[in-house]
Structure 1
Amino acid sequence: MEKGEQLLKIQNYCLPLFQDDATGHDFFHMKRVARMARLIAKEENADTFICEAAAWLHDVGDHKLFADPEKALKETDLFLQSIDITDEWLKQIKTAMKDVSFSKGQIPETIEGKIVQDADRLDAIGAIGIARTFAYGGVRGQLIYHDTNRDKTSIQHFYDKLLKLKAGMHTKTAKRIAAERHLFMEEYLARFFKEW
């Protein structure tokens, strides 16, 4: 089976897993991250196949999204083996997926892992990132903002996480894209507080 066909099968595998998610971790998030990972991998001379495959699957097993994360990861391993992903590729894909999460605070060990982390973080900032923040906050019952109790509001999430992401980008390509998206968020917040 050719790599293009394997990537299509991975994409189709992700559709039922994420299509109904309303927190901003939906199928289209996976698609954007996969597309961005491929773009960065080309620019940075990394393995585009490993980056794209890992990007499609990077949220599989996330405890926020799966009732049984271990089971989801095991099923994904079996699926990948069923589409002729070699043991070496499987190891590389899993390594690239392993340290993507912001909350884990880890720096990925491979360039492919760094690229997938960059691609995921780029989708958390800019216009899409703003939309995802409010979608996630709505699903979790967070207030948009509060004059005195800001801690668990969607706006506070910008300060707790989103505005910190630009500084943690690994690749030159991601740093360039992040600078523009970061600026847009700062402009948005200035406008938000003016209107508030």
Structure 2
Amino acid sequence: MDQETAAMLDHVRNVLQDSGAHGFDHTLRVVRLCEEIGAREGADMKILIPAAVFHDIARPLEERTGVPHEEEGARMAAEYLEAAGCPADLIAGIVHAIHAHRYSTGIEPGTLEARILSDADNLDAMGAVGIARTFMQAGERGTGIADAADHFHDKLLNLKDRMYTGSAREIAGRRHALLVAFLEALEDEAQTRPLSVPERK
């Protein structure tokens, strides 16, 4: 890892102090996936890696105020990168990738780097990590198993068909299979009649 990336990660870590479904560990996994997919797809890493580092920096602000984190995160990234002397053309590519990464915004990623960031972010919602994050989110919201199962149907099972790159589709196939197997087992067990519990005397 180069010194610039390490400095960016330290900056983001200071903002994302709390752990959780969108904590700093999520950022690190997305960066790792971007490194892997970007190398295979021939991405410009000077755009892709900063975009991955900053993509969720404004999550805490969104949770407090409701401001879309992809918009504020792009602004925060641009501010940091301008101060660090990053070239304007690179900043434009980074900002676009952050703007377009979110599943629910409907903004079409217009560059390879933006497509890879979207893929990496979605991949981290799949497989074993995706399962763990889903239940973390349910706990954060104060909901339970039924809410988590709904999230599988509403979002996670759709992610495999939203991958832009061949490299991500390959990874997504394996992670999707695990999601399906887990959800089938979960729904089977959740529908089991509970054992009768004797009344207290």
- TM-score, normalising length from structure 2? 0.86
Which residue does 1:115 correspond to in 2? 116
Which residue does 1:171 correspond to in 2? 165
Which residue does 2:28 correspond to in 1? 31
Alignment length, in residue pairs? Answer: 186
Distance in 2 (CA, whole Å) between partners of 1:101 and 1:174 is: 16
Which residue does 1:106 correspond to in 2? 107
1:106, distance to aligned residue in structure 2 (A): 2.5
Which residue does 1:149 correspond to in 2? none
Q: Contact 1:124 / 1:132 at 8 angstroms: preserved in 2?
A: yes
CA RMSD of aligned residues (A): 1.9
Which residue does 1:148 correspond to in 2? none
Which residue does 1:139 correspond to in 2? 140
Amino acid at match of 1:89: L
Which residue does 1:195 correspond to in 2? 189
Larger relative helix fraction: 2
1:73, distance to aligned residue in structure 2 (A): 4.7
- SS for the counterpart of 1:164 is helix
- 1:18-63 deviation line (CA, Å, top 9, x unaligned): 13042x1000100000110111111001112211110111113346
- 1:74-125 deviation line (CA, Å, top 9, x unaligned): 4432221222211111111101111111111232010100000000000001
- SS for the counterpart of 2:164 is coil
Q: Name which of 146, 151, 164 aligns with 1:157.
A: 151
- TM-score, normalising length from structure 1? 0.88
Distance in 2 (CA, whole Å) between partners of 1:165 and 1:66 is: 27
Q: Contact 2:56 / 2:73 at 8 angstroms: preserved in 1?
A: no
Stretches of structure 1 lacking an aligned partner (at least 5 in a row) = 146-152
Amino acid at match of 1:98: H
- SS for the counterpart of 2:31 is helix
1:49 partnered with 2:50: no
Tell me: higher relative CO, structure 1 or 2? Use CA pairs within 8 A at least 6 residues apart.
Answer: 1
Amino acid at match of 1:94: V
Could you tell which deviates more after superposition, 9-18 or 61-70?
Answer: 61-70
Larger radius of gyration: 2
Q: Contact 1:118 / 1:171 at 8 angstroms: preserved in 2?
A: yes
Which residue does 1:93 correspond to in 2? 94
Q: Contact 1:35 / 1:52 at 8 angstroms: preserved in 2?
A: no
Aligned 1:65-104 pairs, distance under 5 A: 65=63, 67=65, 73-104=74-105
Distance in 2 (CA, whole Å) between partners of 1:74 and 1:183 is: 37
Distance in 2 (CA, whole Å) between partners of 1:43 and 1:72 is: 27
Residues 66 and 57 (structure 1), Cα distance of their counterparts in 2 relative to 1, 3 Å cut:
farther
Could you tell which deviates more after superposition, 73-82 or 127-136?
Answer: 73-82
Identity %, equivalent residues = 33
1:13, distance to aligned residue in structure 2 (A): 0.9
1:7 partnered with 2:5: yes
